[in-house]
Chains A and B, each alone.
Chain A
Amino acid sequence: MSEFFGLRIALSSLYAQRQGLETTGHNVANVNTEGYSRQRVGLLAAGGNTVPAIHSLWAGAGAGVGVAGIDRLRDQFLEARALTEHSVDSGLRQSQQVLARVELVFSEPSPNGLQAQLAELWAGWGDIANQPTDLAARSQLLERAKTLATGVNQIRDDLSALWGSSVEQLSVTVDAVNATAARVAELNGAIERAVKGGLSPNDLADQRDLLVLQLAEAVGATVRPQDAGVVDVFVGGTALVRGSRAEALKVAVPAGTTAGNADTQPVQVQWVKDGYPALVGGGTAGGLLDSVNRALPGYRAAIDGVAATLAGKVNDQQTAGYDLAGAPGLALFSWDPATGMSVALTDPAALAAASEPPAGGVPSTDGRNAIRMAELASAPDGPDQAYRSFIVALGVETQAVNRRVDIQANITRQVDAARDSESGVNLDEEMANMVAYQQAYSAAARVLTAVDQMLETLIKGTGLVGR
């Protein structure tokens, strides 16, 4: 064993402690960097020569310390879990947003909603029943009918607009996914090169994992780690990113798809390369697809159902009666799911208030048909009932989603806390480490001094015989 070996040991420690201190500095610098994983210097005690040999002078002491590598402290299982939870979370949040806007469209319960307009219509028939010959009461009813038809159309238009903006948001989301996927592929390539070149890819990997989390939030992506620090990203079992190659997605809206028929000819997210649908299960895109293909068409169908019931019931009652001139009543509302609702009558006298046919050419002024019309307000199969149960269903669904969002937010927060507890920077800890490295550095320097002094004794104090 060389006399100078002690110097080598001290030097190895100086190097190692310095690197430790630098890593601590790097951690402190990135305490607030999103997606950063704390790093640790992996120290390894360097053993001496362990190969037995006859003339080996090995005394058994170690050979100092070496840096095995700089580790990124990150729990792979927690990360995978985080991808799933974040994907569910952002999907639910997306649904919640759409539902909140749907609730605004209906503005119930309020004195201005469709329910109030329906009540006004029925009350208008009550006035006609009181004065069947009064044109003022009849004109008032026509105006109320127009207001109601406008209200129904307004709701349908608002739902269509909401549908349109959701489709637009979906394509914006998919564009962002494509950009992010390309960047992930790029980083995968850089990481692979770094690893093969023997460099530390830690910070690149942090950046990439942050982007992968974004992909999970956008389309519910999952990952599979590969060699050399590379991860493949999958959407619905098909690779979005494989190594340093990224695929692209697109939004396909079949010709003629509207809010009214998206449940039968759905909007899809497809792979650009072959046009096959991508099975987007979660994330913002998943939530949007659910809104666009299920929720919004469902609400449209429900309001269409209310409109059809309204038109059907009122028109049936109209045709059962006789108008002011004694002629059989004609349909009041015209309803077509394609164009919406409108009032077909323009002449207030054409409203059928009488239930009796004219006798001897003299029209009847009994208001019994109008009374029956007014009683549609509380008919068990009437439009009010249909509308109310729909609003309740909307409320229940929104409430359920709100609760699920709250629960999921809690779960996501816990997973994030667990991740953070694994990979986040704790300044106290870093300070303690800093002190430890600093002390160790000082101690190693002291060892160096001691060895130096020993050598000095040897060099200066020996070989003086005969002087």
Chain B
Amino acid sequence: MSSAFRITNRSISQSAMAGLQANLGRMQKLNEQLSSGRQVNRPSDSPVATSSAMQFRSQLRQTEQYARNAQDGISWLGAIDDTLTTMLGSGGRVRQLILTGLNATSGPAEREALAAEVDTLRSSLLDTANSTYLNRPLFAGTADVGAAYDRVTGSFLGNTGDEASAGAVGKVERSVAPGVTLRVNLTGPEIFGDQGAGDDLFAVLERVSTNLRAGDTAALSEDLASLDGRMEVVLNQLAKVGARYHQVETMRNRAENNLITLTSGLSEVEDIDMPKTIVDLQLQEVAYKAALSATAKVIQPSLLDFLR
């Protein structure tokens, strides 16, 4: 207001009230921020910060899910790794049995015992091949079947993935980052060999048992080579699983790091700077008190007080 104005009592009290109102308004805003702990309480407080906060929150939830997905993938790969390691042990035992069988000194009764052990190992390997993770057969690919291999005939019931194809057949995937999916499974044929060719692990074991009983050492030597071939494949796959495990774990760690970054980002956008807000509130309080006392001084006197 310029001083050329004629000042009246009403205008003084009105402008004083307007000033006090503005002061109180600022105090209320600071109070709201302090009590909610957030500096953005509605979109109009800061449209840009609102957008960032919403984006941060949505990404946070997504990243949480990516970390969960990766953790689940790690569990899958861990279960596969355990299973394959057990199989290597059984395979080693079969190899030993074959070597014993190849020894010319072993008689029919001894060979029968060897063959029986091989049969037991075969059925336990079949059980291992039917391992499940959370009720899903580990090696059945993506087919909705109860078990990967038929317990009686030993035939593969699941489906197998073609690593090169873009399709999802046989591939159990985990989404670990935006647009990044990693395969976390292996199918039966990839580990134990294709049943069509008749040289899958279970067929080999069946031949070993037959040849042991027959004492056919020439055939047994052939079987030994086939078994070694199969075990090599298992070893290769085990190495692959290890590499994937590492990859998924890296992605999980990355997701967890992102969670920290995103959380602090959200907090930076949304949360108040507590000491600063408290100091601001105190400054505002001082200003309010000053305004109050100034108003009290200005409104009171008039010429009336000085007449007579």
A-B contact list, 23 entries, CB within 8 Å: A31-B9, A108-B43, A113-B54, A122-B65, A123-B61, A123-B64, A127-B65, A127-B68, A130-B69, A130-B72, A133-B136, A354-B142, A359-B159, A365-B136, A375-B179, A391-B43, A391-B51, A395-B42, A395-B44, A417-B14, A424-B8, A424-B10, A431-B304
Cβ A413 vs Cβ B6 within 8 A: no
CA distance A418 to B4 in the complex (A): 10
Cβ B173 vs Cβ A118 within 8 A: no
Q: Out of B8, B64, B72, B171, name the residue touching A426 (CB < 8 Å).
A: B8
Q: A123-B64, A134-B134, A421-B8 are in contact. List 14 more A-B contacts (CB 8 A).
A: A104-B42, A113-B54, A122-B65, A130-B69, A362-B144, A365-B136, A367-B172, A368-B171, A371-B173, A371-B181, A384-B58, A417-B11, A421-B5, A424-B10
Chain A: residues with Cβ within 8 Å of the partner, total of 71
Interface string of B174-196 (1 = CB under 8 A from A): 11001101000000000000000
Report B132 CB to chain A, min CB distance, Å.
Answer: 11
Asked if A452 CB lies within 8 Å of chain B CBs, one says: no
Residues of B within 8 A of A388 (CB): 51, 54-55
Report A163 CB to chain B, min CB distance, Å.
Answer: 20
CA distance A111 to B36 in the complex (A): 13
Report A374 CB to chain B, min CB distance, Å.
Answer: 6
Cβ A396 vs Cβ B47 within 8 A: yes
Asked if A103 CB lies within 8 Å of chain B CBs, one says: yes
How many residue-residue contacts, CB under 8 A, span A and B? 203
Chain B: residues with Cβ within 8 Å of the partner, total of 62
Asked if B90 CB lies within 8 Å of chain A CBs, one says: no
Asked if B270 CB lies within 8 Å of chain A CBs, one says: yes
* Closest residue of B by beta carbon distance from A33: B10
Question: Contacts A130-B72, A420-B8, A426-B8: A368 and B173 contacting too (C-beta < 8 A)?
Answer: yes
Cβ A130 vs Cβ B174 within 8 A: yes
Residues of B within 8 A of A222 (CB): none
CA distance A131 to B179 in the complex (A): 19
Asked if A427 CB lies within 8 Å of chain B CBs, one says: yes
Cβ B142 vs Cβ A377 within 8 A: no
Instruction: State the B residues within 8 Å of A (CB).
Output: 1, 5-11, 14-15, 18, 40, 42-51, 53-55, 57-62, 64-66, 68-69, 72, 134-136, 142-145, 159, 167-175, 178-179, 181, 270, 302-304, 307
Asked if A402 CB lies within 8 Å of chain B CBs, one says: yes
Question: Contacts A129-B69, A395-B46: A420 and B14 contacting too (C-beta < 8 A)?
Answer: yes
Cβ B142 vs Cβ A391 within 8 A: no
Asked if A66 CB lies within 8 Å of chain B CBs, one says: no
CA distance A425 to B178 in the complex (A): 71
Cβ B171 vs Cβ A115 within 8 A: no
A interface SS class:
helix
CA distance A130 to B48 in the complex (A): 35
Asked if A119 CB lies within 8 Å of chain B CBs, one says: yes
Asked if A263 CB lies within 8 Å of chain B CBs, one says: no
Instruction: State the A residues within 8 Å of B (CB).
Output: 31-32, 99-100, 103-104, 106, 108-109, 111, 113, 115-116, 118-120, 122-123, 126-127, 129-131, 133-134, 324, 326, 354-356, 359, 362-368, 371, 374-375, 377-378, 384, 388-389, 391-396, 398-399, 402, 413-414, 416-418, 420-422, 424-428, 431-432, 435
Report B251 CB to chain A, min CB distance, Å.
Answer: 14
CA distance A109 to B49 in the complex (A): 9
Residues of A within 8 A of B60 (CB): 119
Cβ A356 vs Cβ B168 within 8 A: yes
* Closest residue of A by beta carbon distance from B172: A366
Report A333 CB to chain B, min CB distance, Å.
Answer: 19
Report A36 CB to chain B, min CB distance, Å.
Answer: 9
* Closest residue of B by beta carbon distance from A384: B58
CA distance A426 to B9 in the complex (A): 5
